[in-house]
Amino acid sequence: MPKTPIAIKPLLLALSLCLGAVACTPGAQAEPVQPSARQPAPPAPDFQGIHRWINSPPLRMSQLRGKVVLVEFWTYACINCLHVQPHVNQWHRRYADQGLAVVGVHTPEYDYEHLSGNVQAAVKRLGIEYPVAQDNDYATWNAYGNRFWPALYLIDRDGRIVYRHYGEGDYEQTEAMIRELLAQR
Protein backbone atom coordinates (compact mmCIF):
# COMPACT_ATOMS: atom_id res chain seq x y z
CA MET A 1 0.00 0.00 0.00
CA PRO A 2 1.48 3.46 -0.92
CA LYS A 3 2.28 5.95 1.82
CA THR A 4 -0.22 8.53 0.64
CA PRO A 5 -0.87 9.99 4.12
CA ILE A 6 2.77 11.13 4.36
CA ALA A 7 2.55 12.78 0.93
CA ILE A 8 -0.62 14.56 2.00
CA LYS A 9 0.95 16.08 5.13
CA PRO A 10 2.99 18.74 3.22
CA LEU A 11 -0.05 19.57 1.13
CA LEU A 12 -2.23 19.96 4.23
CA LEU A 13 0.43 22.10 5.89
CA ALA A 14 0.65 24.36 2.83
CA LEU A 15 -3.13 24.63 2.65
CA SER A 16 -3.33 25.48 6.37
CA LEU A 17 -0.71 28.20 6.01
CA CYS A 18 -2.58 29.69 3.04
CA LEU A 19 -5.88 29.68 4.92
CA GLY A 20 -4.23 31.25 7.96
CA ALA A 21 -2.69 33.95 5.80
CA VAL A 22 -6.05 34.78 4.27
CA ALA A 23 -8.03 34.66 7.53
CA CYS A 24 -5.55 36.74 9.49
CA THR A 25 -4.49 39.09 6.74
CA PRO A 26 -2.44 42.21 7.47
CA GLY A 27 -4.00 44.03 4.50
CA ALA A 28 -6.49 46.41 6.06
CA GLN A 29 -9.84 47.20 4.56
CA ALA A 30 -12.07 49.90 5.98
CA GLU A 31 -15.47 50.77 4.69
CA PRO A 32 -18.09 53.12 5.98
CA VAL A 33 -21.49 51.54 5.54
CA GLN A 34 -23.28 53.87 3.14
CA PRO A 35 -26.99 53.97 4.01
CA SER A 36 -29.48 55.24 1.48
CA ALA A 37 -33.21 55.90 1.45
CA ARG A 38 -33.75 52.41 0.04
CA GLN A 39 -31.18 50.65 2.19
CA PRO A 40 -30.49 52.08 5.65
CA ALA A 41 -27.46 50.98 7.66
CA PRO A 42 -28.13 47.44 8.89
CA PRO A 43 -29.09 46.87 12.53
CA ALA A 44 -26.36 45.29 14.65
CA PRO A 45 -27.13 41.67 15.50
CA ASP A 46 -27.35 40.69 19.15
CA PHE A 47 -24.64 38.63 20.83
CA GLN A 48 -25.66 35.03 20.21
CA GLY A 49 -24.50 31.63 21.45
CA ILE A 50 -21.93 33.08 23.81
CA HIS A 51 -20.09 30.37 25.75
CA ARG A 52 -18.81 32.72 28.48
CA TRP A 53 -18.52 36.42 29.27
CA ILE A 54 -15.29 37.84 30.68
CA ASN A 55 -15.13 41.21 32.50
CA SER A 56 -18.93 41.57 32.37
CA PRO A 57 -22.24 39.87 32.96
CA PRO A 58 -23.96 38.86 29.69
CA LEU A 59 -24.77 41.82 27.44
CA ARG A 60 -27.45 42.46 24.86
CA MET A 61 -27.36 45.11 22.14
CA SER A 62 -30.55 46.61 23.59
CA GLN A 63 -28.60 47.40 26.79
CA LEU A 64 -26.04 49.33 24.74
CA ARG A 65 -28.59 51.45 22.83
CA GLY A 66 -27.68 55.12 23.18
CA LYS A 67 -23.95 54.35 23.19
CA VAL A 68 -21.49 54.10 20.35
CA VAL A 69 -20.40 50.44 20.28
CA LEU A 70 -17.18 48.99 18.91
CA VAL A 71 -17.49 45.24 18.36
CA GLU A 72 -14.08 43.65 17.86
CA PHE A 73 -13.80 40.11 16.49
CA TRP A 74 -10.45 38.66 17.50
CA THR A 75 -8.62 35.57 18.62
CA TYR A 76 -5.59 35.52 20.86
CA ALA A 77 -3.35 33.41 18.57
CA CYS A 78 -3.73 35.74 15.56
CA ILE A 79 -0.70 38.03 15.24
CA ASN A 80 -2.75 40.65 13.40
CA CYS A 81 -5.27 40.69 16.26
CA LEU A 82 -2.40 41.21 18.69
CA HIS A 83 -1.19 44.18 16.64
CA VAL A 84 -4.66 45.78 16.71
CA GLN A 85 -5.24 45.12 20.43
CA PRO A 86 -3.26 48.07 21.87
CA HIS A 87 -5.31 50.47 19.74
CA VAL A 88 -8.60 48.98 20.89
CA ASN A 89 -7.43 49.12 24.52
CA GLN A 90 -6.48 52.78 24.03
CA TRP A 91 -9.85 53.66 22.46
CA HIS A 92 -11.62 51.98 25.36
CA ARG A 93 -9.61 53.97 27.92
CA ARG A 94 -9.85 57.24 25.99
CA TYR A 95 -13.56 57.23 25.03
CA ALA A 96 -15.47 55.05 27.54
CA ASP A 97 -16.41 58.11 29.62
CA GLN A 98 -17.71 59.81 26.46
CA GLY A 99 -20.10 56.98 25.55
CA LEU A 100 -18.02 54.36 23.74
CA ALA A 101 -18.71 50.75 24.70
CA VAL A 102 -16.16 48.24 23.44
CA VAL A 103 -17.12 44.57 23.29
CA GLY A 104 -14.57 41.99 22.24
CA VAL A 105 -15.91 38.86 20.59
CA HIS A 106 -13.28 36.14 20.90
CA THR A 107 -13.97 33.65 18.12
CA PRO A 108 -11.41 30.83 18.15
CA GLU A 109 -9.52 29.67 15.10
CA TYR A 110 -7.78 26.68 16.73
CA ASP A 111 -9.01 24.03 19.18
CA TYR A 112 -6.91 25.29 22.11
CA GLU A 113 -8.48 28.74 21.71
CA HIS A 114 -11.85 27.27 22.78
CA LEU A 115 -10.59 26.78 26.34
CA SER A 116 -11.98 29.41 28.71
CA GLY A 117 -8.86 29.39 30.86
CA ASN A 118 -6.69 30.23 27.83
CA VAL A 119 -8.99 33.07 26.79
CA GLN A 120 -9.11 34.43 30.36
CA ALA A 121 -5.31 34.32 30.56
CA ALA A 122 -5.00 36.14 27.23
CA VAL A 123 -7.46 38.84 28.34
CA LYS A 124 -5.40 39.40 31.48
CA ARG A 125 -2.04 39.29 29.64
CA LEU A 126 -3.26 41.80 27.02
CA GLY A 127 -4.69 44.18 29.63
CA ILE A 128 -8.22 43.99 28.23
CA GLU A 129 -10.64 45.65 30.66
CA TYR A 130 -13.78 45.78 28.49
CA PRO A 131 -16.31 42.94 28.12
CA VAL A 132 -15.25 39.92 26.08
CA ALA A 133 -17.76 37.40 24.73
CA GLN A 134 -16.38 33.92 24.08
CA ASP A 135 -18.04 32.91 20.78
CA ASN A 136 -16.82 29.30 20.51
CA ASP A 137 -19.58 28.19 18.15
CA TYR A 138 -19.31 31.21 15.80
CA ALA A 139 -22.94 32.21 16.44
CA THR A 140 -22.24 35.94 16.80
CA TRP A 141 -19.54 35.76 14.10
CA ASN A 142 -22.10 34.30 11.69
CA ALA A 143 -24.82 36.74 12.74
CA TYR A 144 -22.51 39.57 11.61
CA GLY A 145 -21.53 37.70 8.45
CA ASN A 146 -17.94 38.14 9.56
CA ARG A 147 -15.11 36.30 7.81
CA PHE A 148 -11.91 37.89 9.12
CA TRP A 149 -9.70 38.31 12.18
CA PRO A 150 -9.39 41.01 13.29
CA ALA A 151 -12.59 42.81 12.37
CA LEU A 152 -13.99 46.01 13.86
CA TYR A 153 -17.64 47.07 13.60
CA LEU A 154 -18.80 50.50 14.75
CA ILE A 155 -22.44 50.76 15.75
CA ASP A 156 -24.17 54.10 16.16
CA ARG A 157 -26.35 55.15 19.10
CA ASP A 158 -29.42 53.81 17.25
CA GLY A 159 -27.93 50.31 17.02
CA ARG A 160 -26.94 50.35 13.33
CA ILE A 161 -23.64 49.20 11.84
CA VAL A 162 -22.12 52.28 10.23
CA TYR A 163 -18.47 51.25 9.77
CA ARG A 164 -16.46 48.06 9.24
CA HIS A 165 -12.73 47.49 9.21
CA TYR A 166 -10.93 44.23 8.48
CA GLY A 167 -7.28 43.59 9.30
CA GLU A 168 -4.66 45.94 10.66
CA GLY A 169 -4.09 49.61 9.96
CA ASP A 170 -6.22 52.68 9.31
CA TYR A 171 -6.21 53.36 13.06
CA GLU A 172 -6.54 57.12 12.53
CA GLN A 173 -9.56 56.61 10.24
CA THR A 174 -11.24 54.28 12.74
CA GLU A 175 -10.58 56.67 15.63
CA ALA A 176 -11.91 59.60 13.59
CA MET A 177 -15.11 57.64 13.00
CA ILE A 178 -15.37 56.90 16.74
CA ARG A 179 -15.03 60.62 17.49
CA GLU A 180 -17.57 61.53 14.79
CA LEU A 181 -20.13 59.06 16.16
CA LEU A 182 -19.57 60.24 19.74
CA ALA A 183 -20.13 63.84 18.65
CA GLN A 184 -23.55 62.96 17.19
CA ARG A 185 -26.24 63.28 19.86
Among 133, 134, 160, CA closest to 45: 160
- Contact (Cβ atoms closer than 8 angstroms) between residue 42 and residue 33: yes
CA 117 to CA 158: how far, in whole Å? 35
Taking 50 as the pLDDT cut, the residues of the chain under it are 1, 4, 11-23, 25-27
Among 119, 127, 125, 136, CA closest to 102: 127
| Residue 41, pLDDT score | 84
| Residue 19, pLDDT score | 45
Top-level class of domain 30-183? alpha beta
| Residue 26, pLDDT score | 46
Among 94, 90, 88, CA closest to 152: 88
| Residue 25, pLDDT score | 47
Span between the terminal Cα atoms of the chain, in Å: 71
Give the domain ranges of the chain.
30-183
